[in-house]
Structure 1
Amino acid sequence: MSDAGAARAATRTITRGGRGSLAGGGVLLVVVVLLAAVVPYVVTLGALSSLVMLFALVILGTTWNLLAGYGGMVSVGQQAYVGVGGYALIQLADAVGAPLWLAVPAAGLVGAAIALPTSYLVFRLAGGYFAIGTWVVAEVFRLVTMRIDGLGGGTGLSLSAFRGTDRVERVAFVYWFALALMVAVVLGTYLLMRSRVGLGLTAIRDDRVAASSLGVAVDRGRRLVYVAGSGGAALAGALVALSTLGVTPGSIYSVSWTAAMIFIVVVGGIGTIEGPLVGAVLYWALQQALAPLGTWYLVVLGAVAVAVVLLAPRGLWGLVAGRYQLFPTGYRVRGVPPGAAVAPRADG
């Protein structure tokens, strides 16, 4: 190597994140602190309940992004686990008597436990057949739930664990609990994608055959993502039931939940940690602003989705992802001369 080449190589550094990431992380920390310590005291109870739905949407988008963005599995049946989580919460809280702070995460675990054997069925399918198969599974879950009298049949169940609790205390508890769970899910996903498991998932998404030839446990990795994503959907379903004080098969198993997940991830930016955050805030804001229009807001959502796909194929976060990373999951080589070839980074 020449002296000039050695000098250039010496100036190259491998980094993860940087000042931009630290600054972005600081801004996010401030936002979380404001949400926890200021917002509950300056907005109405109705606004707090609406924010709980935003937190649930962030969880749904983040966990569906695990499936499609990192596992390469497009599921249109994740509403199955939203429903499982909602019903599991009410059964655990009312029938078993578990405290709500324990019943909600336990409902997520129930969803993950059911997803494990279900994965052996749906993983026999691939591509579009996998997507259709997951939707069929969701319909089976809904129909089975409606046939069980102990689950309220077609009328659903009401949550009685809050009976006698002051409304202000109830809404405040649900709000802070939902905020804590949302932060935990996002940070957990970030830590997962920074690990060796996350690197393997990125390889599986990019090329399953090549990943397998390099020793990556493809089936185990995909199953891990499916179980984790389904547990996250069940956790969000439990939060919805906790906030609305009840569930019905028609609403909690509605395909609109999965439609919201797809919108959030595709519009926000698939395959990134930040994308679902951006997409969830946009989806929630459009819902709030367009609620007086009734079902017309669906037309507006569709138009927004089409526009983003055409104008920003990598999603809204993809427009700035090259310059900023709030959650850096891969490494970057700095100091590379223009036009030089470097190994691709595992950003996910």
Structure 2
Amino acid sequence: MSAASPVIERGTAASRIAGFGVAIIILLLAVAPQFLSAGAVDRMTALFIYVILAAMWNALAGFGGLVSVGQQVFFGLGAYFAIRLANAGLNPFVSLFVSAVIVGAVSWPISLFMLRLRNGEFAIGMWVIAALTHLLVNLDRLIQGETGTSLISLNVYDASTRRVAIYWLALASMTALLAVLFGLLRGSTGAAIRAIRDNEDAAASIGVRVTGTKRLLFVLAAFGIGVAGALWLATAITFQPKTYFSVQWTAYMIFMVLVGGIGTFEGAILGALLFFIIETWFGGTGVWYLIGLGATALVFSLLLPRGLWGTLEERFGWRLLPVGYRVRLPVNASVTTGGTAPPAQVTTSREKA
């Protein structure tokens, strides 16, 4: 009996076309402000921020297995440090990204003790860190407790110029962060991240630097969410701690990733787009909007646990932005003992790190 060899693949014709399509979409988005209304520009800026949030939480939880309900700490700190830097005299646009760098730096010592925790302990521990940080920020006299303050220095710019500049900054930030994350997950570090997620002890036994790899992912996610927080401040101008340190931001991240497809690169982007559409249509309904989000997340968890993209990938083999390898295993290979070969060859596939 002769057996065909399994085929290991990652890039496909569909993924190459998708990569070209992504480049075209980004170019179109870059010139879109010339044709969009002021309101549409603001909404698209919000979409870019949502994509960043979803991608960062998905990287941490979906690929790294570090489920957190306290990522709002980095969102709030991104906005807080931007306020502080601008108040010290730094250009407000520059302060947006310097603040994100500071958030990444602050996340490193936090990771020293938080990454010692696992599973539920890590999730709750991050929520405690967020609550404590919220209280500390309230003590800052510049913030004036829950009264908050504003990024006043942005008001020196013309409203339309400021709006378009923030739009481009958000688009550039989203593109850069997705590109960095995509490159990281496609490399050896990405394979190590997924190995740690699947079995941390087994990963360590084959030489994976577990703590260092988890810390890298933790800091990257913190930096990305810090960028999102600073950009949100730029669009809203005002800063109130209870708004930026609210657990609803992490709830939004979880919703987008669960609906789109946890552990898939495309799923986070799709989930952010769906959340954006739902918010645009139903955001004005108040508490019913939040109830609807919770009910939708529950339905997806029960009926489509892999999310929309995960389900499509499983059923149809769609892989537009693959970060791992897939092994195609031939089944019912031709038999050479006098029988005839089957009329068609059936293949199965499995995604591997």
- The alignment's TM-score, normalised by the length of structure 1, stands at 0.92
Larger mean CA deviation between 264-273 and 23-32 belongs to: 23-32
TM-aligned CA deviation for residue 191 of structure 1: 0.3
8 Å Cα contact 2:260/2:307 also seen in 1: yes
Cα distance per residue 1:254-300 (max 9 Å; x no partner): 11100001001111111111111011011111111002311111111
Corresponding residue to 2:78 among 65, 77, 85: 85
Corresponding residue to 1:226 among 218, 238, 242: 218
What residue number does 2:339 align with? none
Corresponding residue to 1:140 among 121, 132, 150: 132
Query: Structure 1 residues 147 and 326 mapped into 2: Cα distance closer, same or farther (>3 Å)?
Result: same
TM-aligned CA deviation for residue 94 of structure 1: 3.3
What are the equivalent positions in structure 2 for 1:13-162 lying under 5 Å apart? 13-37=7-31, 39-98=32-91, 100=93, 102-162=94-154
Matched, 1:346 2:352: yes
What are the equivalent positions in structure 2 for 1:174-193 lying under 5 Å apart? 174-193=166-185
TM-aligned CA deviation for residue 342 of structure 1: 9.2
Cα distance per residue 1:173-196 (max 9 Å; x no partner): 001110111011111110000111
Is there any run of 5+ residues in structure 2 with no aligned partner, and where?
334-345
TM-aligned CA deviation for residue 124 of structure 1: 3.2
What residue number does 2:209 align with? 217
Partners of 1:316 and 1:250 in 2: CA distance: 32
The amino acid of 2:233's aligned partner reads: A
What are the equivalent positions in structure 2 for 1:273-312 lying under 5 Å apart? 273-312=265-304
TM-aligned CA deviation for residue 157 of structure 1: 2.2
The amino acid of 2:253's aligned partner reads: M
Larger mean CA deviation between 44-53 and 172-181 belongs to: 44-53
What residue number does 1:329 align with? 323
TM-aligned CA deviation for residue 93 of structure 1: 2.7
8 Å Cα contact 2:331/2:348 also seen in 1: no
TM-aligned CA deviation for residue 152 of structure 1: 3.3
The amino acid of 1:176's aligned partner reads: W
Cα distance per residue 1:126-171 (max 9 Å; x no partner): 2212111111110100000001113333222211222231111110
TM-aligned CA deviation for residue 14 of structure 1: 2.9
What residue number does 1:259 align with? 251
Larger mean CA deviation between 152-161 and 241-250 belongs to: 152-161
Partners of 2:163 and 2:322 in 1: CA distance: 34
TM-aligned CA deviation for residue 219 of structure 1: 1.1
Partners of 2:332 and 2:160 in 1: CA distance: 59
The amino acid of 1:281's aligned partner reads: L
Cα distance per residue 1:190-226 (max 9 Å; x no partner): 0000111110000000011110111111111111111
Cα distance per residue 1:55-101 (max 9 Å; x no partner): 1111111111111112111110010110100011122233141451x
TM-aligned CA deviation for residue 51 of structure 1: 1.5
Which secondary structure does the structure 1 equivalent of 2:74 belong to? helix
Which secondary structure does the structure 1 equivalent of 2:142 belong to? helix
Q: Cα RMSD (Å) of the superposition? A: 2.0
Query: Structure 1 residues 306 and 342 mapped into 2: Cα distance closer, same or farther (>3 Å)?
Result: closer
Is there any run of 5+ residues in structure 1 with no aligned partner, and where?
none
What are the equivalent positions in structure 2 for 1:4-19 lying under 5 Å apart? 4-5=2-3, 8-9=4-5, 12-19=6-13
8 Å Cα contact 1:55/1:182 also seen in 2: yes
Query: Structure 1 residues 219 and 313 mapped into 2: Cα distance closer, same or farther (>3 Å)?
Result: same
8 Å Cα contact 1:82/1:233 also seen in 2: yes
Identity of aligned residues (%): 38
Larger mean CA deviation between 317-326 and 267-276 belongs to: 317-326
Query: Structure 1 residues 35 and 76 mapped into 2: Cα distance closer, same or farther (>3 Å)?
Result: same
TM-aligned CA deviation for residue 108 of structure 1: 1.4
The amino acid of 1:49's aligned partner reads: D
The amino acid of 2:330's aligned partner reads: V
Partners of 1:129 and 1:177 in 2: CA distance: 36
Partners of 1:280 and 1:337 in 2: CA distance: 38
The amino acid of 2:211's aligned partner reads: D
Query: Structure 1 residues 57 and 97 mapped into 2: Cα distance closer, same or farther (>3 Å)?
Result: same
Larger mean CA deviation between 146-155 and 298-307 belongs to: 146-155
- The alignment's TM-score, normalised by the length of structure 2, stands at 0.90
Which secondary structure does the structure 2 equivalent of 1:163 belong to? helix
Query: Structure 1 residues 205 and 267 mapped into 2: Cα distance closer, same or farther (>3 Å)?
Result: same
Which secondary structure does the structure 2 equivalent of 1:14 belong to? strand
8 Å Cα contact 1:329/1:346 also seen in 2: no
